[in-house]
A and B are shown apart, each in its own frame.
Chain A
Amino acid sequence: MPTHTLTVNGKQVTVDVEDDVRLLWVLRDLLGITGPKYGCGINVCKACTCHINGKAFNPCSVRVADVKPDDEITTIEGLPATVGADLHPMQQAWLERDVAQCGYCQPGQIMAAVAKVRQAREAGHEVGDADIDEIRNICRCGTYARIREAIKDGAKNM
């Protein structure tokens, strides 16, 4: 069985698993990192959204063999450390707006929101409604109104 070396939340880990197992299952089932959630397995619900080298992606649709040892994988568990704080400003905004209901999609929503704010800035503007409309993360509780507010709040402190 092949051995894979990964960098997850700033730590290097090795795992013995077949090349084609998707990264989500390596994180969840083998490494016990359960913040990224399963919701579809085909990259449409976005509940597993994490970051690779600072960009949002969905590990349900990436083979473990396609991740390089020096790719920085960040899950919700590692997000606060990227800003050297107990909580990322986006998580803080989520708390202040009391966004979560069941909470299942929220790690993915937060990871997507952080990337969306950065993407907007790289394009030369602050995140707005049109950007938020592009976020594909589904919330079956229907927390979209508070997510919209929280993203704008969180962006101000990023």
Chain B
Amino acid sequence: MEQRRSPRSGPSGSDSPPDPAGPDLGRRRFLGYLLAAPTLAAAAHLGGSLAAPRHAGAAIPSAPEVQEVFDLNDLLTLATKPTANLIAVVLNPDGTASFDMPRAESGQGVTTMAAMLIAEELELPLDKINVTLADARPELVFNQFTAGSNTAISMYNPIRVAAAIARKQLLKAAAIQLGDTVTALTPHLGFIEAADGRRIGYGELAELAAAQKTEQVEVELKERSQFRIVGTPQNRIDALDAVTGRKTFAMDLDVPGALPTMICRPPTIKGTPASVANLDAVRQLPGVTDVVPIATGVAVRARTFGQCIDAVNALDVAWNPGTVDGESDDTVLAKLKEAELPLAVPPLKPLTGVVEGEFTFYWRNNAALEPNTAVADVRADRAEIWAPLQSPILCQEQVAAQLGLPLNAVTVHVMQAGGAFGRRMFNDVVLEATEASKKMGKPVKLMWHRTDECRQGRMHPMCTSRIRATYAAGNVLTFEQRHTSVATDYTQGFGEIITSLGAKIPPLGQGNELGFSVPVFHLTVNVPYNFGAVTQLLNEVYTYDTFPTSSVRNLVNPDVRTAQELIVDQLAAKMGKDPYTFRREFVDDDRVRAVLDKAAEVGQWGREMEPGTAQAITVHKEYKGATATLIEIDCRPETVNRRVRNAVTGPRVTKAVMAVDTGLPINPRGLEAQMQGGIMDGIAQTLTSSLHLRDGTLLEGSWDDYFYTRHWNAPLETTIIVMPPTTGEPGGAGEFGVPSAMAAVACAYARATGTIPTSFPINHGTLSFTPKATVPPLPPSPTNGLEFAF
């Protein structure tokens, strides 16, 4: 069964006309466009055909407030232009090709993937392809949203179609120049070559091959057996920039006048400023140019960020309460338990064994290492924004609405992100920068302090998962799961304003839960085993905007699957079977069985382990793919109690082996990297990283108390096996590594210690640090850095 993270549906490729030549050729024959342009420009539809019904219509609640904020007609006019939804590959006179990609690059490698697809169909070397990130393009409507590990799935065909049309057009132009027939010519590494050795470079053909008018054309894509680049390991196209410090993030931009800006924030979640006692005094501090109250706090603009920090901490602000001032971990947990939907199968039945478990997953911060940053230059009649954004269209719409400007007066540039993980679906930082720039009448470069990220950022919703499974006579008869979660905020919609407003529909944001949370849950979760009668239900507590929530490199599956796999290990034990053999017998999918076997083989499942150490093995199925992870963990006291200054040590994952089948790995090296990252998240989520909520405040305030995996927690040995192509169609990668890794670490811990963990991370019950002050809001900058030089 296909699993999608996003409720978006419909074909992901371009139009495919019926084909009399047979199904295989039919699958490779597509329609695209030649665009009238000064040089050759070829394009393809992104996200289905113009003629097809708008696929998002059915799932989305009606949105009565749309016209109050945004003129729907403007949007629909844009969306129905014949060139709406087109993505284009452009040939340049210097022989390079350019592609302006309507997706976010956050480290997951989608620009490299796009370059590989273009190189493949265009027969151009990889280093001749420039992939940039497109500004917000509102006519793309639902199709400029980066989420749910969907980019490879949605872009695979359109990019290839555009590049293949360009290749076809180059051949035609070259045939005229060389006085030869197209079929006698071969495109090769940026040249069209004739049999007699004559050749002509793509650069020379760029203008000659340009179309005079936009027209629809049909093209045939390469057969998979002819691929020379797709499926081969390639290094990232931005690697050199990354290792030389040249890669430019929003905070590195030098936009004239956009001085550093920070916000003084409230002591509790979503508090608001009531009054400021010393605005004028703080305006006089060194370097400070402006101090203005905004909706979420008090904005300070200064010559350096260091002076912003000092000024923020000097502000004397009276705060209104936030949305959850009375809430703590235990009050939220009580509400979750109250709201849990009942299990249907009774725990005691004659001749039937029962395995039950209830698991709690605490809050997790979803900040990337690059903090939220936006440059905003707001003028009377226009605004220009630079920021890393997963939802740039929504961002443009929100900024236009906030400023009362027409959409086309707002330009939104999408920057490369220093990580995203779901955080950059939400445009909070841009809206703050817009408000600050407007009120100050000056451009700003607004950056969140790390402590802002921990305490006022977004987090994975706290949740519980209860499971009851029954078995008899060598079979699992029933498997029930009740997942209960703090509401997840889906007001990013599908990255544009219609579905965004749909999520806010009253009463109490029901559009959010019924339109998004519940469908997404059912579209993403599964139990990948033949376990008889299976039911999985979600219930949410609180409204979508009570807590600032978001997915964190996947939403429900890391927790849902961890709970399941812990129960699976117990079922295996009760039924007298080895955990691997048991899974092998019960998995419901051959691809899952294949990765399970591979991980067991490479990871040497069943090898003898020292007391206090153990192996575990788990699987996962999502994003049109399958993973299996084998983990070895060391829980011996000498390891658990090892000391690292200002850090959490604890159990050490010593070895991680993951086998991954994505259907068609486009860039195995990039895929391997994503799986490695997913393993590190899985380790963190099981063992070390969570936020503690106490009286409306999150106690963690930086990387020294929010314990994401560090070098001393990382496995000494990490092996990823990328399976050969199976389905021939690409699957997702970015979020895909987390669920089986998190589950395997939890199962390994249980097997090594003999104690089944029931709350995550396992160290949440012990507060191992002194919380930083909330007033003033930022920790002071140290001055003793030279003492730690090494």
Give chain A's interface residues, CB within 8 Å of chain B: 17-18, 20-22, 24-26, 28-30, 32, 34-45, 47, 52, 55-63, 66, 75-77, 80, 87, 91, 94-95, 98-107, 110, 115-116, 119, 129, 132-148
Residues from chain B with Cβ under 8 Å of A133 in the complex: 644, 711-712
Pick the residue among A21, A77, A135 that contacts B711 (CB under 8 A). Answer: A135
Pick the residue among A24, A39, A148 that contacts B371 (CB under 8 A). Answer: A39
Cα A121 to Cα B517 in complex, Å, equals 55
The winner among B242, B673, B674, B709 for most chain A CB atoms within 10 A is B242
State whether A25 and B305 are in contact (beta carbons under 8 Å apart), knowing that A45-B369, A103-B247 are contacts in the complex: yes
Residues from chain A with Cβ under 8 Å of B368 in the complex: 102, 104, 140
Say whether B238 contacts A103, CB under 8 Å. yes
Closest to B234 in A: A98
Closest to B367 in A: A140
Say whether A101 contacts B244, CB under 8 Å. no
Residues from chain B with Cβ under 8 Å of A63 in the complex: 783
The interface-forming segment of B124-132, B675-683, B757-765 is B675-683
Pick the residue among B241, B245, B679, B703 that contacts A44 (CB under 8 A). Answer: B703
B357 at the A interface (CB under 8 A): no
Residues from chain B with Cβ under 8 Å of A60 in the complex: 781-782, 785
B254 at the A interface (CB under 8 A): yes
Looking at the assembled complex, report how far the CB atom of A128 sits from the nearest CB atom of chain B, in whole angstroms.
Answer: 10
Cα A132 to Cα B286 in complex, Å, equals 40
Cα A42 to Cα B244 in complex, Å, equals 24
Cα A18 to Cα B288 in complex, Å, equals 12
Residues from chain A with Cβ under 8 Å of B107 in the complex: 100-104, 141
Residues from chain A with Cβ under 8 Å of B370 in the complex: 37, 39, 102, 104
B716 at the A interface (CB under 8 A): yes
Residues from chain A with Cβ under 8 Å of B369 in the complex: 37, 39, 45, 47, 102, 104-105, 138-141
Say whether A38 contacts B305, CB under 8 Å. yes
Pick the residue among B251, B711, B783 that contacts A144 (CB under 8 A). Answer: B711
Say whether B714 contacts A145, CB under 8 Å. yes
Say whether B243 contacts A42, CB under 8 Å. no
Interface of B is mostly: loop
Say whether B708 contacts A41, CB under 8 Å. no
Looking at the assembled complex, report how far the CB atom of B417 sits from the nearest CB atom of chain A, in whole angstroms.
Answer: 6
Residues from chain B with Cβ under 8 Å of A134 in the complex: 644, 711-712
Residues from chain A with Cβ under 8 Å of B307 in the complex: 18, 21, 25
Cα A88 to Cα B241 in complex, Å, equals 14
State whether A104 and B418 are in contact (beta carbons under 8 Å apart), knowing that A57-B786, A61-B784, A98-B669 are contacts in the complex: yes
B322 at the A interface (CB under 8 A): no
Say whether A129 contacts B371, CB under 8 Å. no
Residues from chain B with Cβ under 8 Å of A25 in the complex: 260, 304-307
Say whether B304 contacts A137, CB under 8 Å. no
Q: A22-B781, A41-B778, A138-B703 are in contact. List 10 more A-B contacts (CB 8 A).
A: A17-B304, A30-B304, A32-B254, A34-B251, A38-B447, A102-B418, A103-B107, A139-B680, A140-B419, A144-B711
State whether A140 and B708 are in contact (beta carbons under 8 Å apart), knowing that A59-B785, A102-B417 are contacts in the complex: yes
The winner among B107, B710, B711 for most chain A CB atoms within 10 A is B711
Give chain B's interface residues, CB within 8 Å of chain A: 106-109, 235-236, 238-249, 251-252, 254, 260, 286-287, 303-307, 309, 367-371, 416-419, 421, 447, 449-450, 644, 646, 669-670, 673-674, 676-681, 702-704, 708-712, 714-716, 718, 778-779, 781-786, 788-790
State whether A102 and B106 are in contact (beta carbons under 8 Å apart), knowing that A55-B789, A145-B676 are contacts in the complex: yes
Say whether A22 contacts B646, CB under 8 Å. no
Pick the residue among A32, A39, A87 that contacts B244 (CB under 8 A). Answer: A87
Cα A16 to Cα B223 in complex, Å, equals 63
Looking at the assembled complex, report how far the CB atom of A65 sits from the nearest CB atom of chain B, in whole angstroms.
Answer: 10
The winner among A41, A56, A134 for most chain B CB atoms within 10 A is A41
Residues from chain A with Cβ under 8 Å of B242 in the complex: 94, 100, 103, 106
Closest to B670 in A: A98
Task: Give the number of A-B contacts (CB < 8 Å).
Answer: 239
Cα A62 to Cα B789 in complex, Å, equals 11
Looking at the assembled complex, report how far the CB atom of A91 sits from the nearest CB atom of chain B, in whole angstroms.
Answer: 5
Residues from chain A with Cβ under 8 Å of B306 in the complex: 21-22, 24-25, 29
Residues from chain B with Cβ under 8 Å of A138 in the complex: 369, 703, 708, 710
Residues from chain B with Cβ under 8 Å of A26 in the complex: 304
Q: Which 6 A-B pairs have the closest CB atoms?
A: A35-B245, A102-B107, A142-B680, A103-B242, A61-B785, A104-B418
Cα A29 to Cα B287 in complex, Å, equals 12
Pick the residue among A20, A36, A143 that contacts B676 (CB under 8 A). Answer: A143
Residues from chain A with Cβ under 8 Å of B245 in the complex: 34-36, 75-77, 107
Say whether A129 contacts B703, CB under 8 Å. no
* 5 residue pairs A–B, Cβ–Cβ below 8 Å: A41-B450, A99-B239, A105-B418, A133-B712, A143-B673
Cα A106 to Cα B254 in complex, Å, equals 21
Say whether B251 contacts A38, CB under 8 Å. yes
Residues from chain A with Cβ under 8 Å of B786 in the complex: 52, 57, 62, 66
Cα A42 to Cα B21 in complex, Å, equals 66
Cα A91 to Cα B708 in complex, Å, equals 25
Residues from chain A with Cβ under 8 Å of B309 in the complex: 41
Closest to A45 in B: B703
The winner among B286, B309, B419, B709 for most chain A CB atoms within 10 A is B419
Closest to B779 in A: A42
The winner among B260, B679, B714 for most chain A CB atoms within 10 A is B714
Residues from chain A with Cβ under 8 Å of B789 in the complex: 52, 55-57
Residues from chain A with Cβ under 8 Å of B303 in the complex: 17, 29-30
Closest to B420 in A: A102
Cα A146 to Cα B107 in complex, Å, equals 14
Pick the residue among B249, B418, B788 that contacts A57 (CB under 8 A). Answer: B788
Cα A94 to Cα B309 in complex, Å, equals 34
